[in-house]
Amino acid sequence: MSDLDQLLDRMRSQPADPRLMDIEETVMAGVAVRRERAVARRSLALAGIVAIGIGWIGSVVPGGPAQAASRPVVIGMSDYAPSRLLGQ
């Protein structure tokens, strides 16, 4: 037998590492984390595409001419409010 065969026989006779018993749970937890990251990336990409689309549509559609607002109907606003004082 070669040295490699002797080494393999010695390794087979030793008990397995106890950490290997929990490897399935660790691997599945890692898979779940990667899946959550993928979902988050897709959601972020979708939100970006929607935002770009809305911005593009907003820039293409012509808007109405800008008009100054008429004096607002004031309900319960003090005569000393800064907006009232600046407007007079």
Residue 84's contacts (CB-CB under 8 Å, 6 or more residues apart) are 74, 77, 78
Mean pLDDT of 13-41: 91
Does residue 24 have a pLDDT over 70?
Answer: yes
**What is the spatial distance between Cα 76 and Cα 66, in angstroms, rounded to a whole number?**
28
Does residue 58 have a pLDDT over 80?
Answer: yes
pTM for the full model?
0.48
Q: What is the dihedral of CA 32, 37, 39, 45, to 10 degrees?
A: -170
CA 64 to chain centre: 36
Q: What is the pLDDT of residue 9?
A: 87
